[in-house]
Protein backbone atom coordinates (compact mmCIF):
# COMPACT_ATOMS: atom_id res chain seq x y z
CA UNK A 1 0.00 0.00 0.00
CA UNK A 2 1.44 3.40 -1.00
CA UNK A 3 0.52 6.84 0.27
CA UNK A 4 0.31 9.61 -2.42
CA UNK A 5 -0.43 12.80 -0.52
CA UNK A 6 -4.04 12.43 0.64
CA UNK A 7 -4.76 9.18 -1.31
CA UNK A 8 -3.87 5.59 -0.52
CA UNK A 9 -3.00 3.36 -3.50
CA UNK A 10 -3.36 -0.40 -3.23
CA UNK A 11 -2.79 -2.95 -6.03
CA UNK A 12 -4.04 -6.52 -6.10
CA UNK A 13 -3.30 -9.16 -8.74
CA UNK A 14 -5.67 -12.07 -9.25
CA UNK A 15 -4.47 -14.96 -11.38
CA UNK A 16 -6.85 -17.68 -12.58
CA UNK A 17 -5.25 -20.16 -14.95
CA UNK A 18 -3.28 -18.01 -17.39
CA UNK A 19 -5.42 -14.86 -17.02
CA UNK A 20 -4.49 -12.01 -14.68
CA UNK A 21 -6.72 -9.27 -13.34
CA UNK A 22 -4.97 -6.29 -11.77
CA UNK A 23 -7.12 -4.01 -9.62
CA UNK A 24 -5.72 -0.74 -8.33
CA UNK A 25 -7.84 1.16 -5.86
CA UNK A 26 -7.22 4.78 -5.05
CA UNK A 27 -9.05 5.58 -1.86
CA UNK A 28 -10.84 8.86 -2.10
CA UNK A 29 -11.03 9.27 -5.87
CA UNK A 30 -11.01 6.45 -8.44
CA UNK A 31 -10.65 2.76 -9.21
CA UNK A 32 -8.45 1.48 -12.03
CA UNK A 33 -8.84 -2.00 -13.50
CA UNK A 34 -6.36 -3.49 -15.95
CA UNK A 35 -7.54 -6.67 -17.67
CA UNK A 36 -5.23 -9.14 -19.31
CA UNK A 37 -5.63 -9.85 -23.04
CA UNK A 38 -7.18 -13.25 -22.26
CA UNK A 39 -9.90 -11.72 -20.09
CA UNK A 40 -10.58 -8.95 -22.64
CA UNK A 41 -10.93 -11.58 -25.40
CA UNK A 42 -13.28 -13.63 -23.22
CA UNK A 43 -15.45 -10.61 -22.40
CA UNK A 44 -15.61 -9.62 -26.09
CA UNK A 45 -16.61 -13.18 -27.07
CA UNK A 46 -19.33 -13.18 -24.39
CA UNK A 47 -20.62 -9.78 -25.59
CA UNK A 48 -20.78 -10.95 -29.20
CA UNK A 49 -22.53 -14.19 -28.22
CA UNK A 50 -25.05 -12.22 -26.14
CA UNK A 51 -25.82 -9.95 -29.11
CA UNK A 52 -26.23 -12.97 -31.39
CA UNK A 53 -28.66 -14.72 -29.02
CA UNK A 54 -30.71 -11.60 -28.31
CA UNK A 55 -31.36 -10.77 -31.95
CA UNK A 56 -34.09 -12.42 -33.99
CA UNK A 57 -33.03 -10.50 -37.08
CA UNK A 58 -31.38 -12.42 -39.91
CA UNK A 59 -30.25 -11.73 -43.43
CA UNK A 60 -30.90 -14.09 -46.33
CA UNK A 61 -28.39 -14.24 -49.15
CA UNK A 62 -28.70 -16.90 -51.88
CA UNK A 63 -30.79 -19.15 -49.63
CA UNK A 64 -28.35 -18.91 -46.68
CA UNK A 65 -29.31 -17.13 -43.45
CA UNK A 66 -26.90 -15.11 -41.31
CA UNK A 67 -27.84 -13.83 -37.84
CA UNK A 68 -27.71 -10.04 -37.42
CA UNK A 69 -25.83 -8.90 -34.32
CA UNK A 70 -26.84 -5.23 -34.39
CA UNK A 71 -29.26 -3.21 -36.51
CA UNK A 72 -29.56 0.57 -36.93
CA UNK A 73 -31.35 2.87 -39.36
CA UNK A 74 -28.51 2.96 -41.92
CA UNK A 75 -27.18 -0.61 -41.65
CA UNK A 76 -26.48 -3.75 -39.65
CA UNK A 77 -23.62 -5.95 -38.47
CA UNK A 78 -22.82 -9.66 -38.71
CA UNK A 79 -20.22 -11.75 -36.90
CA UNK A 80 -17.00 -11.10 -38.83
CA UNK A 81 -15.54 -14.60 -38.75
CA UNK A 82 -18.31 -16.14 -40.86
CA UNK A 83 -19.80 -13.07 -42.55
CA UNK A 84 -19.84 -13.19 -46.33
CA UNK A 85 -18.62 -10.17 -48.27
CA UNK A 86 -22.13 -8.96 -49.06
CA UNK A 87 -22.64 -6.54 -51.88
CA UNK A 88 -26.00 -6.32 -53.55
CA UNK A 89 -29.54 -7.38 -52.80
CA UNK A 90 -30.36 -9.12 -49.49
CA UNK A 91 -33.56 -9.82 -47.58
CA UNK A 92 -33.85 -8.87 -43.89
CA UNK A 93 -36.15 -10.92 -41.64
CA UNK A 94 -37.35 -10.69 -38.04
CA UNK A 95 -37.95 -14.35 -37.32
CA UNK A 96 -40.21 -15.42 -40.18
CA UNK A 97 -41.48 -11.90 -40.97
CA UNK A 98 -39.93 -10.36 -44.08
CA UNK A 99 -39.11 -6.76 -43.13
CA UNK A 100 -36.90 -5.22 -45.82
CA UNK A 101 -35.39 -5.89 -49.19
CA UNK A 102 -32.02 -4.12 -49.02
CA UNK A 103 -29.20 -3.12 -51.29
CA UNK A 104 -26.05 -3.29 -49.12
CA UNK A 105 -22.29 -2.93 -49.20
CA UNK A 106 -19.67 -4.04 -46.65
CA UNK A 107 -18.21 -0.98 -44.94
CA UNK A 108 -15.76 -2.01 -42.24
CA UNK A 109 -14.75 -4.65 -39.72
CA UNK A 110 -14.83 -3.51 -36.10
CA UNK A 111 -14.51 -5.46 -32.82
CA UNK A 112 -15.24 -8.83 -34.44
CA UNK A 113 -18.25 -7.49 -36.37
CA UNK A 114 -18.57 -6.86 -40.11
CA UNK A 115 -20.51 -3.64 -40.67
CA UNK A 116 -22.84 -3.24 -43.66
CA UNK A 117 -24.48 -0.08 -44.92
CA UNK A 118 -27.81 0.25 -46.72
CA UNK A 119 -27.75 1.88 -50.13
CA UNK A 120 -31.48 1.21 -50.25
CA UNK A 121 -33.87 -0.45 -47.78
CA UNK A 122 -37.39 -1.00 -49.07
CA UNK A 123 -40.01 -2.03 -46.52
CA UNK A 124 -41.87 -5.15 -47.57
CA UNK A 125 -45.66 -4.89 -47.59
CA UNK A 126 -48.17 -7.74 -47.35
CA UNK A 127 -50.54 -6.09 -49.84
CA UNK A 128 -50.12 -4.96 -53.43
CA UNK A 129 -49.22 -1.37 -54.16
CA UNK A 130 -52.02 0.82 -55.49
CA UNK A 131 -51.66 2.08 -59.05
CA UNK A 132 -53.94 5.06 -58.39
CA UNK A 133 -54.30 7.80 -55.80
CA UNK A 134 -57.03 7.42 -53.19
CA UNK A 135 -58.89 10.62 -52.46
CA UNK A 136 -59.39 11.45 -48.80
CA UNK A 137 -63.18 11.90 -48.96
CA UNK A 138 -64.02 8.85 -51.11
CA UNK A 139 -66.75 6.52 -49.78
CA UNK A 140 -65.74 3.05 -48.65
CA UNK A 141 -68.33 1.51 -50.98
CA UNK A 142 -71.17 2.41 -53.33
CA UNK A 143 -74.76 1.22 -52.83
CA UNK A 144 -76.88 1.39 -55.96
CA UNK A 145 -80.70 1.49 -56.26
CA UNK A 146 -80.67 -2.11 -57.61
CA UNK A 147 -78.78 -3.40 -54.57
CA UNK A 148 -82.01 -4.20 -52.68
CA UNK A 149 -84.03 -5.69 -55.54
Q: In the chain, which stretches have pLDDT less than 50?
A: none
Burial 14-32 (b: 16+ CB within 10 A, else e): eeeeeeeeeeebeeeeeee
pLDDT of residue 41: 77
- Pairing mode of beta strands 75-79, 30-35: unpaired
In angstroms, rounded to a whole number, what is the distance separating the alpha carbons of residues 134 and 29? 66
Contact criterion met (CB below 8 Å) for 86 and 55? no
Question: pLDDT tens for residues 80-110?
Answer: 887 888 888 999 998 888 899 999 998 889 8
pLDDT of residue 127: 79
pLDDT of residue 27: 57
pTM, rounded to two decimals: 0.53
pLDDT of residue 75: 92
pLDDT of residue 119: 94
Domains of the chain: 2-35 (no CATH), 56-123 (2.40.10.430)
pLDDT of residue 118: 93
Amino acid sequence: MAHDGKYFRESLDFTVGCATLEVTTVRGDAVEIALSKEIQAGLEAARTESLRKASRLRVEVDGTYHRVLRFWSTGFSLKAENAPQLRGLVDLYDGSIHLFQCLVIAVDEEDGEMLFEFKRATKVSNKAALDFEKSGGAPAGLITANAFS
